[in-house]
Structure 1
Amino acid sequence: MKIRVPATSANLGPGFDSCGIALSQYLSIEVLENAEEWKIIHSLGADIPSDKTNLLLQTALKLAPNLAPKVLKMTSDIPLARGLGSSSSVIVAGIELANRLGNLNLSQKEKLRIATEIEGHPDNVAPAICGDFVVASYVDGDVHYVKHHFPMCDVIAYVPDEHLLTTESRSVLPNTMPYKDAVKASSIANVMIAAILNGNLPLAGLMMEEDRWHEAYRRKLVPHLDQIRELGQKIGIYGAFLSGAGPTVLILTPEENTSQMVKALEKMPKSATINVLSIDQEGTQVF
């Protein structure tokens, strides 16, 4: 059995802690054989545990404590601590592992509720489970979500070499916001979502760059965001936004402008990896 979970990008600018998309990079978990103790074979670095302390197994055994130990193989091309849902993908994979090995017969909604309770918000775990574009809420313990087709475009991920932990990125956010500012921020998010549903990426991209919830406070941590937007305006992208808490920036672009934008990004002074991705429409899959 093999479980595959996509990378994700949360927020899309103003859809803070609510909107997310699934991307064509993946975490894969393969069940190899029975064992006396749990073991995870991987080449992801010494910081990633190979035993029951791994987040994957912590999640699975929380749901199904009596699972018989297995040897697992973990592979991933999702960058760690870069705002592309690396931890969310592991949580989702752990839930699916418990679901399959423990015969839990969880529905998609139940998987999402469990993942949201663990993660704290649904913006990454929802598209990781469902695929495509998902808008979700988590209020008073209730999770509600809507999946919709994301309009066709290329997605360029500009992934700086340095980490930016979510805790650090969240620490710069305010505890309160004036009511009038919150109304403006909400209206921008509403138009962004409506434009996506309507297939209007030029308008959606415009709204993505008008976020009032978080990007203004995080700009000092990610100065390359404004630089990328300036490049994008000259080349003709739809929009650029922080992926989750950063430092990765996602750029949505028409296919015909992708090559030119990538070349411009390669000339930026910051050391980064640049990947051209697509929207994953399937979410978590089991083979």
Structure 2
Amino acid sequence: MAIRQRLAQPGTSGRVQARRPVRCVRLNVSAGGKVYIDPVKNECAAFAPATVANLGPGFDWMGCAVQGGGDTVVAKVIPGKPGVVEIAAIEGDGGRLSLDPAKNCIGVAATETLKLVGAVSCGVSLTLNKGLPLGSGMGSSAASAAAAAWAVNGLFGAPVPKDKLILAGLASEAAVSGYHADNVGPSLLGGFVLIRSCKPGEPVELLQLPFPNPERLHFVLVNPKFEAPTAQMRAVLPKETPMKSMINNCCQGGALVAGILTGDVKLVGESLDRDVIIEPVRAPLIPGMMAVKEAAKAAGAYGCTISGAGPTAVAIVDDPAVGARVAEAMSAAFRNAGKLDVNTAQVVKLDPEGAKFV
């Protein structure tokens, strides 16, 4: 059964449906009578996994978390500076990301998380370790935001449930890549997440979709040395689409969900392979992508498409040995047809947990 969660935006009506474990929150009453929330620890580290968004026909409404790479954020208390957010250091980005918290997704996510926690008595200092390449199509910014939100939340005993923290992640994503939850949702929650509603100023509604027998599902992820910024890849999307194409993608999107809920690996692979709206306009911008897609299927994959906005390609298999063969074929196609070197080629499983303390 799908788990339904409806998240209320600040200032709107709505409800949050979630099971909340007992947590300890330390309160501090100042001389003027104002109640502040004190941290319960001085330092907290969190990891958030990579994600595969869109999954072919599920553009902007489907994503999943995968094991393997991800980003780590360490949050430390700054005494005497209520609500202040600072970024102390960033590692693994080649010096490309800003240390200005208002211009970096971890700073935005941390700021919004503090608002969700309440009137806190301290500030936070953040250190980000980038485990995911920028512009990779594996939810790089979302992993950073999810790790930051979970780490800051952890300083105060994790009083805010993960599903509500998606609002902090959305604010962060909106600042860097657009207002969409198909990366930050699964990076926080884990597993497959369907975004039923996600519009600024309105409640966000998510459906967590269980996948039976997840040990049978394997993702082949091949990331070439090529950057595909989300903003540029969104700029090529069609403003209108033919009715025939819309019907096809609705059909394949429904089949994708059916495959997930029934644990049908083949149906998941075949469905994500049949997008006729987004992939046809994005694939030509990624050198060799169509050759990679064909090579994956020829080597035994059930289907292959672009992960997120690309350039990473994702294929679906039910056997890790087949996955290794598919990874080799996809890598060769990127090198031969796309003239691109390959950063990583890996066979990974679904990540059911999402963000976690480390």
Same fold (TM over 0.5): yes
Equivalence for 2:98: 49
**1:15-63 CA-partner distances (Å, limit 9, x unpaired):** 1101111122121112356478834233222112345343212321244
Q: Deviations 1:152-180 (Å, cap 9, x if unpaired)?
A: 23322111112111111111111122334
Task: Quickly say closer, same or farther: Cα 1:144–1:68, change in 2 above 3 A.
Answer: same
Runs of 4+ in structure 1 deviating by more than 6 angstroms, as ranges, are: none
Q: Is 1:135 aligned with 2:135?
A: no
Asked if the contact 1:262/1:274 (under 8 Å) is kept, the reply is no
For 2:305, which of 219, 241, 246 is the aligned residue? 241
Could you tell me how far apart the structure 2 residues matched to 1:80 and 1:257 are?
A: 28
Distance 1:208 1:67, change over 3 A: farther
Residue aligned with 2:165, SS: helix
Give, in whole Å, the separation in 2 of the partners of 1:233 and 1:63: 43
| Greater alpha carbon shift after TM alignment, 90-99 vs 153-162 | 90-99
Tell me: CA distance 1:205–1:61, structure 2 relative to 1, closer, same or farther (3 Å): same
Alignment of 1:111-260 (within 5 A): 111-119=165-173, 120-140=179-199, 141-150=202-211, 151=214, 152-253=216-317, 254-260=319-325
Asked whether the equivalents of residues 64 and 102 of structure 1 are also in contact (C-alpha less than 8 Å), the reply is no
Counterpart amino acid of 2:350? I
Return 5+ residue gaps in structure 2 as ranges.
1-43, 174-178
Letter in 2 for 1:285: K
Offset of 1:136 from its aligned partner? 1.5
Q: Do the aligned residues in 1 keep the contact of 2:62 with 2:193 (CA within 8 Å)?
A: yes
Q: Distance in 2 between matches of 1:138 and 1:12?
A: 17
Q: CA deviation at 1:12?
A: 0.6
Query: Quick check: which has more Rg, 1 or 2?
Result: 2
Aligned partner letter, 1:271: D
SS at match of 1:123: coil
Secondary structure of the residue aligned to 2:97 is: coil
Whether 1:11 and 2:54 are equivalent positions in the alignment is yes
CA displacement, residues 180-219 of structure 1 (integer Å, 9 cap, x when unaligned): 4322211111111101211111122111111123101112
**How far 1:98 sits from its partner (Å)?**
4.0
Other structure's SS at 1:156 match: strand
Match of 1:30 among 63, 69, 74: 74
| Counterpart-to-counterpart distance in 2, 1:209 and 1:157 | 14
RMSD of aligned C-alpha atoms? 2.4
Unpaired segments ≥5 residues, structure 1? none
Change (3 A) 1:220 1:3: same
**Equivalent position SS for 2:182:** coil
1:109 deviates by: 2.7
1:278 aligns with 2:321: no
Quick one: which of 85, 88, 91 aligns to 1:40?
88
Q: Which has the higher contact order (CA 8 A, sep 6+)?
A: 1
Q: Per the alignment, in what secondary structure is the counterpart of residue 344 of structure 2?
A: strand
Question: 1:103 Cα shift?
Answer: 6.4
User: Counterparts of 2:172 and 2:129 in 1: how far apart (Å)?
Assistant: 22
CA contact (8 A) 2:112 2:171 kept: no
**In 2, Cα distance between equivalents of 1:272 and 1:285:** 29
SS in 2 for 1:16: coil
Give the TM-score taking structure 2 as reference length.
0.73
| TM-score, normalization by structure 1 | 0.89
Q: Distance in 1 between matches of 2:243 and 2:330?
A: 38
CA shift for structure 1 position 246: 0.7
CA contact (8 A) 2:138 2:312 kept: yes
